[in-house]
Each structure stands twice: as structure tokens, then as C-alpha cells.
Amino acid sequence: MDDPEIYELVFQAPAVEDDVVVVRRTEKSGAGGYPVYEDETGIVRAEISADGEVRMIASGGHQAPDVPRAVRSLHP
């Protein structure tokens, strides 16, 4: 089964609405062997398994990315 090309990562925000970041599959694989996805800026990066498990990847020094509260595939 192919991995989805696009996911939405939903983060808890201090405001009323959640923050939603769209990430696309890259050619890279993470430490767990799953595809790495990133947003259009390359700042938000995540390794996402076929089961929807997420491991956030720091894209710069001193970055401590939050774990999203939900992950949604945009392409089954």
C-alpha cells in the first residue's frame, strides 16, 4: 500500500481554532524507516507511519516541535 502524499497536522492552539499545517511527502525517510513529510517552508517536518503515528523532526537548532493532536490524510 502506498503512503499518502499529503497530511494535515492539527496542533492545539491557544486561540479558539486549532492550527492546521499541511505537509507533503518528501523523498526522505526518517529514523523509523517511514516517509518524512514537510510543509512548504521546510520548517515543519514529521515522520509519519502508515498507521498515522507521528514523530516530529526538528528542522533547526533549539527547535522543540509540539506533537500534533491529530493527523489527517488528505489522500487515501
Each residue's pLDDT tens digit, 14-60: 777 888 999 999 999 999 999 999 999 999 999 999 888 999 998 88
What is the pLDDT, as a whole number, of residue 61? 80
**Is 28 a member of any domain?**
yes
Distance CA 60, CA 2 (A): 29
Residue listed under C-alpha cell 516541535: 65
Does the structure show a pLDDT above 70 at 2?
no
**Is 51 a member of any domain?**
yes
Domain with 13, as residue range(s), is: 6-73
**Is 1 a member of any domain?**
no
What is the pLDDT, as a whole number, of residue 18? 81
DSSP 31: T
What is the pLDDT, as a whole number, of residue 6? 94
Residue listed under C-alpha cell 527547535: 63
If one counts the domains in the chain, the total is: 1
**Is 62 a member of any domain?**
yes
- Sheet arrangement for strand 54-57: 54-57, 45-48, 35-38, 19-29, 6-11, 70-73
Higher pLDDT, 66 or 35: 35
Does the structure show a pLDDT above 70 at 76?
no
Spatial contact of 8 and 22, defined as CB atoms under 8 Å apart: yes
Residue 72: phi and psi, rounded to 5, are: -125, 125
At 14, list the grid cell.
491557544
